[in-house]
Chain A
Amino acid sequence: MAMKTRNYSWYGLLMLLFVGLGCDSTVDSIHSDEIVVESYLVANEPMPPVWVSRSIALGSTFNPESVAVRDASVVIYVLNGEGVKTQTIRFEESGDEPGAYRSTTDEVVQAGKTYRLEVQSGLDAELVWAETTVPADFELIEPSATEIAYKDPAQFSMLVTQSKVEGGQSVFVFTMESLEPTLHNLIPVYREFVYDEEITDLDTFEWSVDDFKQLLVFTSPPIFEGNYEVFSDGTLRVKLPWFAVAFYGPLKVTMTILDKNLYDFQRYQQSQQGGSTLSPGEIPNVLDHIENGRGLFGSTSRVSAIVQILKEAS
C-alpha cells in the first residue's frame, strides 16, 4: 500500500518535550540553628522548668551544655477562653543547669487552662512561642491490687474516671517505671533480649543499670480511649498487659492523658524510627506546634499507682 510522505516534525517536538527536560531534581537543605524548647506541664503539679537549647547539624556531637541557650527571656502566660493573657509567670535561668529556666513564683498547673510559652533568645531573634491546653483532671479510683504475681491471669488494672476532652477522645500513654531495677529483678524474657545469652549465675554475673536503661521507664505508644469500655458511671478499667512489665519488684504505673502537642510530637517522632506505612528511608519532620523554633511544649494529666510484681509460682 503506497503511503504519502508527511511532515512529522510536530511529533519530534513532542518527543523532545518528554525526553529532554533536565536531570534529577533534588533540593539541598542546609542546617541552620533553631531554638529548641522543652517543657511538660502536669495538671495539679508545680510549674515545671523550661529548657532552652539549639538544634545542631547532623554531623555535630550533641552536648547538653554546649547547646544550652543562656540569657533568654522566658515567660509563660495563662490565657482565658478568648486567648487573652490573664496571668504572667516569669522564669529565670537556673544557676546550676545551663539552659534551664525556672518559675520565679510558686505556681501550680491548672487542668483545663491554656498556657502560652514565649522565649526570646536575643534582641534580633524571632520570638519562639507555643500554646498548650492542659487535659482535664481524672482520678484513680482504685488499683486492683498492691501486689500481684507476674503473668497472673487476673492482671493488674486501674479503675479511673473518664477525662473530658473537647472535640475528641482522650489519648493515653502508660508508663511503667521500675523502682528497683536490678539484674535479679529483670524478668527472664527481657534478660534474654538484653544479654542474648543464658545467665547461669545471677550473683556472679557482672552487670550495670546502663545495660538495660531503655527498660527502666517503659512507655506505651499513644492509645485511644476507644480501646476501653466506659462503664455507665463514667469510669473505665485499664488492664496492664504483662509484656509491658520488665522487672519484678516495685513498679510505678502511671497513666497519662496527653494534650494535642504531646500526642502529635510522640506519634511523629516515633514514625521517624520506622514502622509506619512510610517506606524505609522516608523520615518526616515532627509536628511540634512550636512557632519559629523546635521542641515540645506539652501538658498532661496523670495518675499513678505502685504495685509489687512478684515472681510467678514455679
Chain B
Amino acid sequence: MVLGVVNSSAQSSSSVSGFVRDQESGETLILANLRIKDTSIGAATNTSGYFTIPGLTPGPYVLIASYIGYKNAEFSFTLGREEALRLDIELEPEGFDVGEVVITAESDTEEEQRQLGAVKMTTATIRKLPTILEPDVFRSLQLLPGVKAASDFSSGLYIRGGSPDQTLILLDRTTVYNPSHFFGVFSTFNPDAIKDIRLFKGAYPASYGGRIGSVVDIYNKDGNRKETAGTFTLGLLASRVMVEGPHRFGSWMLAVRRSTVEPILAAARSGDVNGIPEKFYFVDTNGKINFDISQNNKVSFSFYTGKDVVVVPIVSDVDVQLRYGNETFSANWTHLFSDRLFSNFNVTRSHYFSHPEFDFATTHSAQDNQVRDYSLKGDIEYAPDSRSAIKAGFWGGQLRFDLNNTFDGTEVFSLVTRSVYANGFTEYVFRPSAEWTLTSGVRASYFENGSFFRIEPRFSVERQLSSRLFAQVGAGRFHQFLTLVSNEAFSGLDVWLTSADKVPPAYGDQLVTGLKYKKESGFRIEWEGYYRTMRQLFSLNPFLPDIAGLAYDEMFHFGDGYAWGSEIFVEGSLGPISGFAGYTYSITRRRFPAINERAYYAPKYDRTHDLNLTGSYNLTKSWQITAVFNYSTGQAYTEPVSQYRLTHSPFSYEDTSVLVSLFNGSRLSPYHRLDVGATKKGKLFGFADYELQLQVVNAYSRKNIWFPFFEFKDDGSVKREDVTQIPIPIPNVAFTLNF
C-alpha cells in the first residue's frame, strides 16, 4: 500500500480503497497503479493487491487504474463527507498483438518502480526471453543491471557485489534456502506457477531483513477466480502443466514440472558409455488455494515441493547418489481492520534437504543436511492521513540446521544448530509536499544462537525534480546471521551455517542514489549508484580438509569486502523494436586472512563492465522475435607465474607440483553472447491458444572461457587447458497450449 503524491488537505477524511484484479482470471495484481485523474494523488497496490487513497475531500473523482500489460481503466465516483468508498477493480489484459512491452514497467506503475533499487519482472517476460532449455526466473533477473551470473551454468544471483547467500529469496513470504535445480543450472521457480517477481537490489526497506545484500520476493499465482483454465508446455529439458480455477469460496492453482531427459540418458547408456546417470531428474509442484471469506478477510494456503535426484554408477563397485530439494508451506490471512488499516499474517514452514552418498567398494560415506525454518509473520499498514503512512511488523520463528557426516559406517561429524529468531520493524513514510517523500525505518533483530541483538536503521529521500524526473537517496544498515557453504559450479551440496558465540553476524552499510526519468510514451532511463560495505563476513574456511573435532568457530574464516557501482537502465521502443538495455560499471573486492596475503582481491564474479541489450520485434501479428546480447569484462582468475616441484614426498610416488601466483590478479577475455528466439502464437483447431518457441542460445558460437586448468605434465611442462562455458549454439524448442 504505497501512498502517492498528495496535495489535498491532510485533514480530509474521505477515502477510496480496494483490491485490483485481472478481469479474466481474478488474480490480484501487485503494484498496480491508481491515480486520481488530473491530480498527482495516487497509490500502488501492495503485495496482496490492495490499495487505499485516504485524505480526499468530498466531491466527484475519476480514478485511473493501470498495470503493465493491461488496459487502463477509469472509474467515476463521488465521495461524501467522511465516506470510505470500497472500490474493487478489475483490469482487462491487453492482447498479444498490441505490442508487448518486453520487460517490467509501463510508465504508470511508477510508485514501486521508482523505489530505490527495486525492479519488477513479469512472468510473461521470463517466458519470452531466449533461454537455456527452460525459462528461468533467475536467469532473466541476471539481465538487469547490477545482477550478474557466475557462468552460463549458474542461475545464482550475484547482486551488486554480493554472493548468492546475501540475497533473501522469498516464495509467498517463505524463505527458500536452495533455489536451484540441476545443481545450480536452473532456479526452482516454475514461471507458470508464479505471479510477479520483485527484486530489491539494495538499500531495501525495513520490512525485509536477514541478508546484507538484496531481496527477491516471489508470489505463487492465486489461481483463476472466473473459470477453470490451464497451460501445458512440452520442452526439450522439461515439461510442465498448470491448472487453475475457481471454487465456491475462491480459487486454486496447481502446477507440476518435471524434467524429461531420461530418454536421452537411456540412449547414451545403450551406447555403453561409462558415467551416464542411472537416474537424473528434477520435479517440482506449486499449489495454492484461496478462500475469500468476506470482503475484508482472505485466507490462502500455498506450498512448493521440489527435488533433484541423480544416481551415477561411475564404474562397477562405485556409485554416487544425490537427492536434494526444498519444501515450503505458508498459510496467509489478510484482514482489513478498516479501509486504512491493512494487515497480513503468515505461518510459514521451509525445509531444505541434501543427501549425497558415495559408495566405493564397501566404503560408504554420506551426508544428511537439513534446514528447517518455522515462522510466524505479521505486517500492518496504516494510512492515517494523506501525507503519511505507517508500516510495522514482526517475523519470528525457529531455525534448525542438521548436518551429519558418516564415513565407512562411523559418524564422523554431527552438528545440530537450533536458534530462535525474532525481528520487528516499523517504517514511516512522510510526504511534506508534492515534491518530497521521506521514508524512515528501523528494524530490530534478535538471533538466539550467540544472543545477538542488532538494530538496523533505514532511510530514504525522494525529490521530484520535474514532472518526469526524480532523484533519490537511500541508506541503511543490514545484518546477516547465516552463511552458505557452496560452490559456484555445484549447488546440490549447499550447507547453511549460522552465527554463534565467537562467530558474530556479518553486517554492511549501503548508500544508494538514483536519478529516474520517464516519458509518457513509456521510455524510461534510470541511473543508480551504490556503495556498500561487507563486514565480519564469515564463511567456512576453504582450506579445511576436515572439520571433525573442531570447535564451531574454528570452522570459519572471517573477512570483509566492499562494492560500488554505477548502473544505467534504459527501456523503450525504437520504431518497431521494443526492449531494454542495462549497463553496469562496478568494483567488488574481498579480503580474507588466508588468501592473497590478506590483501583485497577481486572475486571471480567481479565484472568491471557489464552490458545487456534485450529487444523484441513483432514480425507479424502472430510472430515475434526476441534477442538478448550480453557483453562483460572477463572474470577475474588466477594466472600462475611460477611453478616448483617437490620430488621426494613420502606421501606420493609422483612429484608434488605447486603453483605460485597472484590470487585472481588476471582477467579472462571478455564475455559476450547472443541469444535469439522466435515465438509464434495462434489458435489450435480454433479452440485453444498455442505458443511455439524456437530459440538458440549462443547463436554465434562464442567460446567464453569459464576457467583455465593447469596440468603438470610428465615432461616437466605445465599445460593450460581452458574450460569453456556453453561452447556451441544450443537450440531450444517449446510448445505451449493454453486451455
Residues of B within 8 Å of A276, CB to CB, are 542-543
Q: Is the CB of B643 within 8 A of A18?
A: no
Residues of B within 8 Å of A285, CB to CB, are 596-597, 659-661, 663
Known: A58-B642, A269-B658. A15 touches B543 (CB 8 A): no
1/0 per residue, CB under 8 A from A, across B661-678: the answer is 111111110000000000
Residues of B within 8 Å of A279, CB to CB, are 150, 487-489, 603-605, 707
Residues of B within 8 Å of A11, CB to CB, are 471, 515
Q: Is the CB of B412 within 8 A of A227?
A: yes
Asked whether B513 is an interface residue with its Cβ less than 8 Å from the other chain, the reply is: yes
Q: Is the CB of A3 within 8 A of B467?
A: yes
Subset of 7 A-B contacts with CB under 8 Å: A18-B564, A26-B636, A241-B408, A267-B544, A271-B542, A283-B661, A285-B596
Q: Is the CB of B316 within 8 A of A62?
A: no
- Name the one of B609, B641, B648 contacting A29, with C-beta atoms under 8 angstroms: B641
Q: Is the CB of B648 within 8 A of A55?
A: no
Asked whether A107 is an interface residue with its Cβ less than 8 Å from the other chain, the reply is: no
Q: Report how far A216 CA is from B650 CA in the complex, Å.
A: 12
Residues of A within 8 Å of B315, CB to CB, are 189, 192-193
- Name the one of A18, A51, A58, A169 contacting B529, with C-beta atoms under 8 angstroms: A18
Q: Report how far A300 CA is from B650 CA in the complex, Å.
A: 10
Counting from the closest, the 10 A-B pairs by CB-CB distance are: A226-B549, A281-B707, A18-B566, A62-B716, A243-B360, A18-B529, A226-B548, A283-B638, A243-B363, A281-B637
Q: Report how far A281 CA is from B664 CA in the complex, Å.
A: 8
- Name the one of A21, A29, A153 contacting B362, with C-beta atoms under 8 angstroms: A153
Q: Is the CB of A1 within 8 A of B641?
A: no
Asked whether B267 is an interface residue with its Cβ less than 8 Å from the other chain, the reply is: no
Asked whether B585 is an interface residue with its Cβ less than 8 Å from the other chain, the reply is: yes
Q: Report how far A61 CA is from B657 CA in the complex, Å.
A: 13
Which residues 48-72 of A sit at the B interface, judged by CB distance below 8 A? Answer: 49, 51, 53-64, 67
Given contacts A1-B40, A61-B717, A277-B485, 12 further A-B contacts (CB under 8 A): A18-B564, A19-B566, A29-B639, A31-B641, A38-B648, A62-B644, A187-B361, A193-B315, A227-B546, A266-B651, A279-B487, A283-B638
1/0 per residue, CB under 8 A from B, across A109-153: the answer is 000000000000000000000000000000000000000001101
Residues of A within 8 Å of B539, CB to CB, are 277
Q: Report how far A24 CA is from B597 CA in the complex, Å.
A: 22
Residues of A within 8 Å of B660, CB to CB, are 34, 55, 285, 294
- Name the one of B513, B548, B644, B665 contacting A227, with C-beta atoms under 8 angstroms: B548
Q: Report how far A151 CA is from B363 CA in the complex, Å.
A: 9
Q: Is the CB of A64 within 8 A of B647?
A: yes
Q: Report how far A130 CA is from B645 CA in the complex, Å.
A: 18
Q: Report how far A40 CA is from B656 CA in the complex, Å.
A: 13
A45, chain B: closest CB distance, angstroms:
11
Q: Report how far A222 CA is from B543 CA in the complex, Å.
A: 11
Known: A15-B566, A51-B647, A226-B549. A284 touches B543 (CB 8 A): yes
Q: Report how far A31 CA is from B487 CA in the complex, Å.
A: 30
Known: A51-B647, A241-B408. A270 touches B545 (CB 8 A): yes
Q: Is the CB of A280 within 8 A of B513?
A: no
Q: Report how far A25 CA is from B654 CA in the complex, Å.
A: 38
Q: Is the CB of B363 within 8 A of A241?
A: yes
Q: Report how far A36 CA is from B668 CA in the complex, Å.
A: 30
Q: Report how far A283 CA is from B656 CA in the complex, Å.
A: 16
Asked whether A250 is an interface residue with its Cβ less than 8 Å from the other chain, the reply is: no
Q: Is the CB of B644 within 8 A of A294?
A: yes
Q: Report how far A57 CA is from B717 CA in the complex, Å.
A: 10
Q: Report how far A196 CA is from B339 CA in the complex, Å.
A: 73
- Name the one of A17, A30, A223 contacting B641, with C-beta atoms under 8 angstroms: A30
B370, chain A: closest CB distance, angstroms:
20
Q: Is the CB of A295 within 8 A of B646?
A: yes
Q: Report how far A14 CA is from B658 CA in the complex, Å.
A: 46
Residues of B within 8 Å of A277, CB to CB, are 485-487, 539-540, 542
Which residues 194-246 of A sit at the B interface, judged by CB distance below 8 A? Answer: 196, 213-214, 216-217, 219, 221-227, 239, 241-245
Q: Report how far A58 CA is from B659 CA in the complex, Å.
A: 8
Nearest A residue to B609, CB-CB:
A24
Nearest A residue to B547, CB-CB:
A224
Q: Report how far A281 CA is from B645 CA in the complex, Å.
A: 20
Asked whether A162 is an interface residue with its Cβ less than 8 Å from the other chain, the reply is: no
Asked whether B338 is an interface residue with its Cβ less than 8 Å from the other chain, the reply is: no
Asked whether A108 is an interface residue with its Cβ less than 8 Å from the other chain, the reply is: no
Q: Report how far A11 CA is from B515 CA in the complex, Å.
A: 8
Which residues 272-315 of B sit at the A interface, judged by CB distance below 8 A? Answer: 274, 315
Asked whether A173 is an interface residue with its Cβ less than 8 Å from the other chain, the reply is: yes
Q: Is the CB of B363 within 8 A of A1?
A: no
Q: Is the CB of A189 within 8 A of B644?
A: no
Tally of contact residues, B, Cβ under 8 A: 100
Q: Is the CB of A26 within 8 A of B665?
A: yes
Q: Report how far A276 CA is from B540 CA in the complex, Å.
A: 10
Asked whether B732 is an interface residue with its Cβ less than 8 Å from the other chain, the reply is: no
Asked whether A175 is an interface residue with its Cβ less than 8 Å from the other chain, the reply is: yes
Asked whether A84 is an interface residue with its Cβ less than 8 Å from the other chain, the reply is: no
Q: Report how far A277 CA is from B543 CA in the complex, Å.
A: 9
Q: Is the CB of B651 within 8 A of A219?
A: yes
Q: Report how far A41 CA is from B268 CA in the complex, Å.
A: 52
Q: Is the CB of B545 within 8 A of A267?
A: yes
- Name the one of B466, B661, B662, B668 contacting A3, with C-beta atoms under 8 angstroms: B466
Asked whether A186 is an interface residue with its Cβ less than 8 Å from the other chain, the reply is: no
Asked whether B728 is an interface residue with its Cβ less than 8 Å from the other chain, the reply is: no
- Name the one of B317, B603, B651, B718 contacting A217, with C-beta atoms under 8 angstroms: B651
Known: A6-B465, A24-B608, A226-B548. A213 touches B650 (CB 8 A): no
Residues of A within 8 Å of B363, CB to CB, are 241-244
Q: Is the CB of A271 within 8 A of B543?
A: yes
Nearest A residue to B597, CB-CB:
A285
Residues of B within 8 Å of A225, CB to CB, are 549
Residues of B within 8 Å of A40, CB to CB, are 648-650
Residues of B within 8 Å of A53, CB to CB, are 644
Residues of A within 8 Å of B410, CB to CB, are 227, 239
Nearest B residue to A275, CB-CB:
B487
1/0 per residue, CB under 8 A from A, across B412-451: the answer is 1000000000000000000000110000000000000000
1/0 per residue, CB under 8 A from A, across B592-608: the answer is 00111100001111001
Q: Report how far A23 CA is from B634 CA in the complex, Å.
A: 12
Q: Report how far A173 CA is from B638 CA in the complex, Å.
A: 29
Nearest B residue to A274, CB-CB:
B709
Q: Is the CB of B643 within 8 A of A282?
A: no
Q: Report how far A301 CA is from B387 CA in the complex, Å.
A: 76
Q: Is the CB of B585 within 8 A of A18?
A: yes
Asked whether B723 is an interface residue with its Cβ less than 8 Å from the other chain, the reply is: yes
Q: Is the CB of B644 within 8 A of A295?
A: yes
Q: Report how far A281 CA is from B663 CA in the complex, Å.
A: 10
Q: Is the CB of A19 within 8 A of B585?
A: yes
Q: Is the CB of B545 within 8 A of A58?
A: no
Q: Which of B513, B635, B641, B723 has the most CB of A within 10 A?
A: B641
Q: Report how far A270 CA is from B542 CA in the complex, Å.
A: 11
Residues of B within 8 Å of A295, CB to CB, are 644, 646
Q: Report how far A27 CA is from B602 CA in the complex, Å.
A: 11
Residues of B within 8 Å of A216, CB to CB, are 653
Q: Is the CB of B542 within 8 A of A36?
A: no
Residues of A within 8 Å of B76, CB to CB, are none
Q: Report how far A21 CA is from B316 CA in the complex, Å.
A: 58
Q: Is the CB of B644 within 8 A of A169?
A: no
Residues of B within 8 Å of A281, CB to CB, are 604, 635, 637-638, 668, 706-708
Residues of B within 8 Å of A51, CB to CB, are 646-648
Q: Is the CB of B667 within 8 A of A282?
A: no
- Name the one of B40, B644, B666 contacting A55, with C-beta atoms under 8 angstroms: B644
Q: Report how far A222 CA is from B434 CA in the complex, Å.
A: 67
Known: A34-B642, A58-B640, A192-B315. A3 touches B487 (CB 8 A): no
Q: Is the CB of B715 within 8 A of A280?
A: no
Residues of B within 8 Å of A77, CB to CB, are none
Asked whether A76 is an interface residue with its Cβ less than 8 Å from the other chain, the reply is: no
